Amino acid sequence: MSNNLLKGKRGIISGALDPNSIAWKVAEKAYEQGASIVLTNAPIAMRMGEIKNLAEKINAQIIPADATNVDELNNLFTKSQEVLGGKLDFVLHSIGMSANIRKNIPYPELNYDFFMKSLDVSALSLHKMLSVAMKQDAISEWGSVVALTYIAAQRTFPFYTDMAEAKSMLESITRSFGYHYGKKRKVRINTISQSPTKTTAGSGIKGFESFFDFADQISPLGNASAESCADYCVSLFSDYTRMVTMQNLFHDGGYSFTGISDEIMDKM
């Protein structure tokens, strides 16, 4: 259903790897709501090829960029404005990666080279994107930037290891840059803290399936799907949320504020 909430708006969407990716659903929904979009992902992700199917479906160009590389980000923001025909109205940061998680390294034994890479890819990349965008004055007044995060930034989830630190940093960059970009160009920056979601990044976490079910039974509304997360992103890109900035917004069916549920009590 389209209400043309994003009619005439231009945006960059990062992180669409395959049809399960949260960013994939955001791209589909933003297009449905009238937006023109540039898709981006790390050059290595292009080789999988699936992003091309999405690009065709939503009439988008793909501009590869490693989100840790400032030159590639500069190219991404310059070319996106050329392709879309003007300044951007929204940007989605949907990027995360931890080699410590991939290799099942427990938290007390983290590999520090991997740790630094997790921080660079999953958190500093947001700073780099925003810094490039600000220098190019690439985002219109009242533009909206959304990054995806997880509640392990506030509470301990042992399997999330160094990504917990990365998400804490991501949320902090959101607040700090939200101040500076808000003052300078009235650009708003928020994070959405999403329920566990069955994607490549999500399913790479040890014990994800049982944790997914646990979260579903704790949350009064159940886990939030990738589709509903995409709807929330669209609302944050739209003009209906102009005064929301520097926030971490829980999109988790009530998980974050529930102590225990009847379903879990019955199982104890």
Interface ranges with ligand NAD (CB under 6 A): 14-15, 17, 21-23, 41-42, 45, 66-68, 94-97, 121, 148-150, 194, 196-197, 199-202
Closer residue to ligand NAD in complex, CB, 6/119: 119
CB of 196 to ligand NAD, least distance (A): 4
Minimum separation from the CB atom of position 223 to ligand NAD (A): 9
Are the CB atoms for 22 and 44 separated by under 8 Å? no
> Cβ–Cβ contacts within 10 Å for residue 165, how many?
20
Query: Residue 142 and residue 151: Cα distance in Å, rounded?
Result: 27
Distance of CA 144 to the CA centre of its chain: 13
Work out how close the CB of 14 gets to ligand NAD at its nearest, in angstroms, rounded to a whole number.
6
Q: Considering the complex, state which of residue 5 and residue 42 has its C-beta at the smaller distance from ligand NAD.
A: 42
C-alpha angle 13/15/19, rounded to 5°? Answer: 100
Nearest to 174 by CA among 93, 110, 243, 240: 93
Q: Which residue is nearest to ligand NAD (CB)?
A: 202
Dist CA 117 CA 90 (whole Å): 26
- Cβ(48)–Cβ(18) under 8 Å? yes
Considering the complex, state which of residue 24 and residue 181 has its C-beta at the smaller distance from ligand NAD: 24
Give the H/E segment covering residue 146: strand 139-149
Contact in structure between 115 and 162 (CB atoms under 8 Å): yes
Which lies closer to ligand NAD via its Cβ, residue 54 or residue 148? 148
Using the minimum distance from each CB to ligand NAD, give the nearer residue, 45 or 60: 45
Nearest CA among 49, 28, 6, 20 for reference residue 237: 6
DSSP-assigned beta bridge partners for residue 188: 144
Nearer to ligand NAD, 5 or 26 (CB): 26
Least distance between ligand NAD and beta carbon 116 (Å):
13
Residue 60: count other Cβ atoms within 10 Å of its Cβ. 25
CB of 148 to ligand NAD, least distance (A): 3
Nearest residue (CB) to ligand NAD, 101 versus 185:
101
Q: Residue 133 CB, nearest distance to ligand NAD (Å)?
A: 15
Q: Rounded to the nearest whole angstrom, what is the least distance from the CB of residue 97 to ligand NAD in the complex?
A: 4
Q: Residue 190 corresponds to which amino acid?
A: N
